[in-house]
Structure 1
Amino acid sequence: MANPRKTPALVGELVAEFAGTMILILFGVAVVAQVVAAKGLGDHDSIAWAWGLGVMLGVYTAGRISGAHLNPAVTVALAAFKGFEWRKVLPYSLAQTAGAFVAALIVRWNYSEVLAAFDPGHTIKSQFIFSTLPGNGALPVGTWGAFRDQVIGTAILLFLILAITDLGNSPPGANLTPFVIGLVVVAIGMAWGTNAGYAINPARDFGPRLASFLTGYQTAWRDQYGQLYFWVPIVGPLIGGLVGAALYQVLIGRSLPIAEEPEPGRLPTKPGPETA
């Protein structure tokens, strides 16, 4: 008789969050580098699809071990509304940020020649490959417009993540959950990518931003107007995630039948009553 796996220790969960977020950023930041710096190889749609596929693959990587949050905004919202342990919030967030940081360094290294040819001074012209800017660095959107956008975009993300993973609702089978969450990110990218580049994830933005700063981008912390901007894709998503999770609980969650829930912070491992 095969021995069942033991419940993963915290270190295993953190390694899974690191690996899953690294996979996400390896696809997400790399596709922006390809589209922006290697002109003609892709467009906005390829960016949206690659980010969504990166999320899907990251969730498949880490889902059964850590729940595959891959995003501090997700971790905080699950702690506030779904019983995830608060003591794990900071370690998870640090692991996610570290995974994003390492992935961005790999992308920076791999595309070093292309970036040097496209933007020899490593200025804000190519900075938004790694981290977001208001109006994508070109449109007339300021700090507070971008902040508003990040709150709304992340609220949508968390609302839908809870809808998709709630066993009392009509969730997809556990093996399809990462695929559907990836489609959510594709949709957000296609509909909400203008004002602030849809970071909707503090780790996704801060990790690559730090990596770019350490590898020559001295403008990394500011936007195209010279304003300190790095805090916007951190604070905005954290607030938006709480708003989206709260709205889901008020509008949908409290009206659903009680269902057997997975361990807090984990993906469901079997279909809910509507899909059984």
Structure 2
Amino acid sequence: MSLLLQDATSSIPREKRTLREKSMIAADDVDLSWPPSAPKVSCNADPSFNMTDTSHIERLHTYDLELGATEAVQKHISRQVVATKPVSQRKLDFEHSRPRWLREMAAEATGVFFYVYPGIAATATFILNEANPAFGSLFQVGWAFAFGIAFAIITCASTSGGHFNPAITICFAIWQGFPWKKVPYYIFAQIFGAFLAALLLMGQYHEQISAFSAASVASGKGLVYNGGPASILCTFPGATQNNLGYLFMNEWFVDSFIGIVIWACLDPANPFVSPAGAPFVIGLAYANMIWGYADISISTNLARDLGTRMVAAIFFGREAFTYKNYSWIAILVNVPATIFATAFYEMLMRDSLKKIGGGHAQHEDGEEGLHRHLTKTMSVMENGTTAVTKGKEGL
């Protein structure tokens, strides 16, 4: 047998022999007698020999697992994948039958809820545990509102557009062609979402707020003041903040700052903010203003303030609207300030030609109108390309 194997494989170079051929050669050294003799074990074996060392095993250099192992791995992976359930016609019919306006209102209310709920919860933790900073801080409140806004946009913006602020809804109607007939029920839904968030928080923190309210009344401070029970839900000026003009300007500049950031994030020609990053940038804009100006009373959102202020009035009395005559600033100033901010961006910073060039908009008169504009401002060559003319625009 040894001679036959040797003749069959002697002509094959050693490096090209297959594993099967090598095993055939090695078979000559196997004892084929029956019954097999017991293996001889030497007590003086080399102590350096490692039974787990497999470096002597030669493998085929195919960089693949053996077929059986590959199949086992593939079956293991496929068992972890859940097949997508087919969409039934019944489900499609149901989704088609839903009123569009109802879906949009639900999305706006849910988005404002997602924005307000974690923010006022962090505020409650901060105010109710003022003596123990481990339970809250202004830094925590800012992050709670920031992530709440990001989650609101991520969750609901694909359904309603993600306004979550009456001022933003009005600005969309002014600058972006949003239908004016939708503005009232968008605003109603936004206020309703904030109202629900405040109502739920009062239920969850009922015991703590009741105890805090009793202690506050016993100390003679009342229920409605900056840092008091009602301020968990909405904003009130500090004890020394009696100048309404000062409070008005604070709110105006803060809301204008946020409005410009929002409009820049929504500008499709802005290369620095991706759609995926916009929710977090907008949230951080709110957080920045909270960290910097919450101490001097800011509101930043009509729906957030009015919805929660109504709940404050239910639980803490009408003083929630009359305290220092401040409520109208918290509720209304956000709207003209945001209109001012978006007008500033539209008139001084917007590049509509870049927006058209990126395929995000088109000229109101179509290609003919765009060509007419380019002819007026640039020299249009015969081959369709354009070159900037040297004139006043190029100086």
Q: Which residue of 1 aligns with 2:143?
A: 49
What SS does structure 1 have at the residue aligned with 2:260? helix
Indicate whether 1:99 and 2:196 are aligned.
no
* Partner Cα separation in structure 2 for residue 143 and residue 58 of structure 1: 32
Kindly provide the amino acid, as one letter, of the partner of residue 158 in structure 1.
G
Unaligned runs of 5+ in 2: 1-85, 362-395
Q: Which moved more, 1:8-17 or 1:244-253?
A: 8-17
Task: Give the one of 95, 107, 110 matched to 1:19.
Answer: 110
Report what 1:89 is aligned to: 183
Aligned-residue offset at 1:251: 2.0
- State whether residues 35 and 42 of structure 1, in contact with CA within 8 Å, keep that contact through their aligned partners in structure 2: yes
* Equivalences for residues 97-246 of structure 1 within 5 A: 97-120=191-214, 121=217, 123-124=223-224, 125-134=228-237, 137-196=238-297, 198-223=298-323, 227-246=324-343
Secondary structure of the 2:322 match is: coil
Conserved in 1, the CA contact under 8 Å of 2:269 and 2:351? no
Q: 1:15 to 1:160 in 2, by over 3 A?
A: same
Q: Which amino acid aligns with 1:150?
A: E
* Long gaps (5+) in structure 1: 263-276
TM-score normalised by structure 2 residue count: 0.61
Are the equivalent residues in 2 in contact too, given 1:30–1:107 (CA < 8 A)?
yes
Query: Which residue pairs with 2:152 in the alignment?
Result: 58
Q: Give the match for residue 29 of structure 1.
A: 120
Taking the aligned partners of 1:219 and 1:234, their CA distance within structure 2 comes to 15
CA 161–115 in structure 1, closer or farther in 2 if over 3 Å, else same: same
Q: What's the RMSD between the two structures over aligned residues?
A: 2.3
- Give the secondary structure class of the aligned counterpart of 2:233: coil
Is residue 121–residue 201 contact of structure 2 (8 Å, CA) maintained in 1?
yes
Q: Is 1:250 aligned to 2:341, yes or no? A: no
Instruction: Measure, in 2, the Cα distance between the counterparts of 1:42 and 1:238.
Output: 30
Q: Matched residues in 2 for 1:203 and 1:230: separation?
A: 13
- Runs of 4+ aligned residues of structure 1 deviating over 4 Å after TM superposition are 1-8
* Separation of aligned partners in 1, 2:254 and 2:327: 17
TM-score normalised by the chain length of structure 1: 0.85
Percent of residue pairs bearing the same amino acid type = 27
Q: 2:251 and 2:239 mapped to 1: Cα distance?
A: 17
Larger Rg: 2
* Deviation of the 1:199 alpha carbon: 1.4
Whole-angstrom distance in 1 between the partners of 2:272 and 2:211 = 47
Q: 2:160 is matched by which residue type in structure 1?
A: S
The 8 Å contact of residues 26 and 107 in structure 1, kept in 2 or not, is answered as: yes
Q: What's the CA shift string for 1:194-233, capped at 9, x where partnerless?
A: 322x31100000100001111233421123xxx3222112
In structure 2, the residue corresponding to 1:204 is in which secondary structure? helix
Provide the residue aligned with 1:269 in structure 2.
Answer: none
Is 1:68 equivalent to 2:162 in the alignment?
yes
Question: Once structures 1 and 2 are overlaid, which stretch shifts more, 64-73 or 117-126?
Answer: 117-126
* 2:271 aligned counterpart, secondary structure: coil
Deviation at 1:255, TM superposition (A): 6.7
Between the aligned partners of 2:240 and 2:163, the Cα distance in structure 1 is 31
Shift of 1:172: 2.7
C-alpha distance in 2, partners of 1:105/1:261? 41
Deviations 1:221-265 (A, max 9, x none): 123xxx322211222100101000001112211476124448xxx
Asked whether the equivalents of residues 115 and 126 of structure 1 are also in contact (C-alpha less than 8 Å), the reply is yes
Which amino acid in 1 is paired with 2:254?
Answer: G
The 1:11/1:29 distance shift into structure 2, 3 A limit, reads: same
Distance 2:244 2:193 in 1: 27
The alignment of Structure 1 onto Structure 2 pairs a total of residues equal to: 256
Deviations 1:154-205 (A, max 9, x none): 1111111110111112253322221221111111212232322x31100000
Q: Is the 8 A contact 1:145 1:195 kept in 2?
A: no
Whether the aligned pair in 2 keeps the contact of 1:25 and 1:54 (CA below 8 Å) is: yes
CA contact (8 A) 1:38 1:114 kept: no
- Mapped to 1, the partners of 2:117 and 2:148 lie a distance apart of 8
How far apart in 2 are the matches of 1:8 and 1:168?
33
Find the residue that maps to 1:70 and give its secondary structure: coil
Distance in 2 of aligned mates of 1:128 and 1:187? 20
Deviations 1:100-150 (A, max 9, x none): 00100001111111112222246012211111122xx24435322222122
